[in-house]
Amino acid sequence: MPQTNLIGKTILGYTVTERLGSGAFGTVYKAIKSNASGQYVRALKHITIPTEKQYNSVLNSMGGDVSKANSYFMQMLNSIVSEIRILNDLSEKGVQHIVRYYENDILTSESPRRYDIFILMEYLTPLEDYIDSKNFLVRDVIKLGEDILYGLKSCHDNGIIHRDIKDENIFVSDSDEYKIGDFGVSKVLKDSSKAESLKGTPNFLAPEVYLGKEGYTKSVDLYSLGIVLYRLLNYGRNPFLPRFPEQYFAQDEDEAFEKRMRGEVPDLPALGGEEIGRVIVKAISNNFERFQTADDFINALEAAIDNTPSEIFNERIKITTPSHVSKDKQIEKQYGATIGEESPQSNPEEYTEDNNNVSLNKHLFDSIGEVPSTDIPESDSDVKPEQTEKKDGIEDAGFTTINKKVVDIVPPNIDDPSELAALDRKVINKFVFFIPVVIILIGIITYFIVIPNLYGKVVSFIDWLFTDPKNIMDTLRNPDAVLPQVNTIIGMRIFWWIWLVGLITSLFFVGRQLQTKPESNAINAILTKKEPYLMMQDVSDALKQLKAQRKSSQLDSLIYSVKKLEERLSVESDFGYGKNVVINCENNIAKQIQFLLDTVPYIENGNFEDNLKAINAAVMNINSLLRRRTELKKR
């Protein structure tokens, strides 16, 4: 199939309307079908094996052996077909909490051989996007765990180990049901109850899988789900990492990973309470100490829920992400993971065969893979969710939210934003507007005062520029003229031409200055554009939710103050523009807003009155800083 941009095309009876994301092997689209019974929305994945670049690279790595290259890609096709069969079997059996499969089609072209695979699946929301769209609570994490456990139970009952349970492979339906996606590394267990191959994502892998010491059972899926739940209840941090918000480094990550591989017992996650925390820690214990079946996990979780105070379930989940991974790329990666992609593990540079299987270099395709499209940019599918970046002394990992930093109950100190600025660009810009005024004044004084005093008469401006000097001499010839000489008149003409050119040039620079956009300084800014206003909306919404639960005149006063501040931010000029002195002031505002975001949801934790005072102080700080910002931008 030669076309690569499928938008507007009809495939499998559905019209492609939107590109959702892409991965190393293909692109996921939104597809819609309408008929008398209603409208149906599906996700359509288009997988191409191989792209031209992939084919050439693999062919070169195999010494130009076309048959071996074709065999390589045939094995890749068989792997995807196997995944389709898994989804088809589970869908036909009506298995819940699994991404539903509907239909597929495979087209083959030759010279070189190419397979275009179209898979029609359930249209779902990636977990990360879902978390960002709502106030995610501990009770939501528990429901996620239960739903995925029931999905895993169905997989295991059908002889399937998923082997790559992680947050990126969990999706949410419109009815808030959590579902498992991406069976690209699943292993169908036939006569044996154990699998021997290493697949999956290291940050979620059970030790026996990663170390490859022995065969493993379906309990490895329960271990991976335990890691997902632990991270959700631990501010996105893996077991054994320093407690949030304490800063940590790459060495801490390495040590935490080694402890996990040694089977050491981690502390309970920060949220969720003691009973639920113990269940999750048991799920990520050594092979023979963890839950062996999904039923065991479910029963233990339900018992823990019964013994957990109700207020625990209303704790808000806070998860952060590396700032260098954009949201669009995260969503693209998750949609791409729904089917047909595998996680790179080893560094397989060889193509090896034996009597039982063929070892394929899937990692090679992750390194050279491209989306089969000329007008759709390739997504950066190599970015791992576990990668982290340190900013402001706090390590982020997991998902993207607008929250960037957690602070204590005391509002952050305000840094002094003052900065000496001598003759900076703003002074020069004002000077540009002043120059044409000076030039015009010089012209007026010369024309109406100086020339009449020198020549006794006023000559029109056009005559000074274009009339023959001798004619001007005749006009000015009178006994009172002081300088009637021709040379003087020529000099005056030169003066007027210089004056006119100077005026036009100065007006040109005035026009340019009026069209000049503010200079972006986003690289130093915590927040840009209208982000402060959007964040303050979140604060206002959180306070409204609190008001529904608690009546307080002080709370009403605070809600009014925050609402006025929100209105003020809505009309403020965009953040992230101007000199460093302005950006410093804006960054102070960002820290105060972040304090509000992190404090308001937990205002009832501890002393309510003290927390209210701290929040009011932060609101006052923001108003003061906004006045300061206005003054700085005028300079």
- Where is the binding site, in residues? 45
- Residues 365, 340: Cα–Cα separation, whole Å: 12
Is-contact 367 378, C-beta < 8 A? no
Which residue, chain included where needed, has tokens 């997991």?
Answer: 398
Is-contact 252 173, C-beta < 8 A? no
DSSP secondary structure of 253-283? HHHHHHHHHTTPPPPPPSSSHHHHHHHHHHH
* Binding site members for ATP: 45
Length of the chain: 635
Return the biggest CA–CA distance within the chain. 126
Residues 6+ apart with CB under 8 A from 35: none
Q: 98 vs 132, 574, 622, CA distance in Å?
A: 22, 44, 47
Task: Identify any residues that bridge with 115 across adjacent strands, giving them in sequence order.
Answer: 49, 108
3-state secondary structure at position 116: strand
Is-contact 45 35, C-beta < 8 A? no
Could you tell me which of 30, 18, 47, 49 has the C-alpha nearest to residue 113? 49
3-state secondary structure at position 19: strand
Task: Identify any residues that bridge with 549 across adjacent strands, giving them in sequence order.
Answer: none
Sign of CA dihedral 275, 277, 280, 286: negative
- Residues 200, 184: Cα–Cα separation, whole Å: 10
Residues 6+ apart with CB under 8 A from 104: 12, 84, 117, 118, 119, 120
Q: Which two tokens stand for residue 392?
A: 């402001």
Q: Which two tokens stand for residue 289?
A: 């100490």
Residues 6+ apart with CB under 8 A from 520: 576, 577
Whether cis (ω within 30° of 0) applies to the bond prior to 601 is no
- Residues 120, 11: Cα–Cα separation, whole Å: 9
Q: CA-based angle 335:223:251, to the nearest 5?
A: 85
C-alpha atoms less than 13 angstroms from C-alpha of 456 in its C-beta half-sphere:
13
Q: CA-based angle 280:285:289, to the nearest 5?
A: 110
Which residue, chain included where needed, has tokens 């997504």?
Answer: 379
3-state secondary structure at position 216: strand
